[in-house]
Amino acid sequence: MPVDADQLLFSYGTLQHPEVQLDTYGRLLQAEADSLPGYTVDYTEIEDRRVVDLSGLAVHPVVRSTGNPLDRVVGVVLRITEDELDATDEYEVALYRRVSVRLASGRAAWAYVSA
């Protein structure tokens, strides 16, 4: 049965991992390559034990806006439902905030950036 996925989510990190997708969404998501101009990747330590256990990583990437169009973060676009977007909000820790971004492809998507 097809899922009515009407939200686009840009992922550059652990949301691409099958085990994270299965736990967060109950399914594996289709991904399309894209990139996020004007941002750069940094790394942050995650203290939420559930997220660390699920992802297998204590250090996760986090993106920060630079405003420089030459900066670019490579990732994927995931098509998710509104309920799955809510589930993503629960997965992401307080070090991240969800914002609307414009991808290199021209598509608008949600992304989790440095809080």
Q: Do the beta carbons of residue 110 and residue 91 sit within 8 Å?
A: no
What's the token pair of residue 54?
């699920």
| Residue 73: per-residue pLDDT | 97
Helix 18-25 with 82-91: angle, nearest 10 deg: 120
* pLDDT tens, position by position, 16-73: 999 999 999 999 999 999 999 999 999 888 888 888 888 888 888 899 999 999 999 9
Complete domains list, the chain, with CATH:
7-114 (3.10.490.10)
Q: Do the beta carbons of residue 50 and residue 92 sit within 8 Å?
A: no
Band of residue 2 on the pLDDT scale cut at 50, 70, 90? low
Query: Model pTM?
Result: 0.86
Q: Do the beta carbons of residue 113 and residue 96 sit within 8 Å?
A: yes
Percent of the chain with pLDDT over 70: 97
| Residue 1: per-residue pLDDT | 43
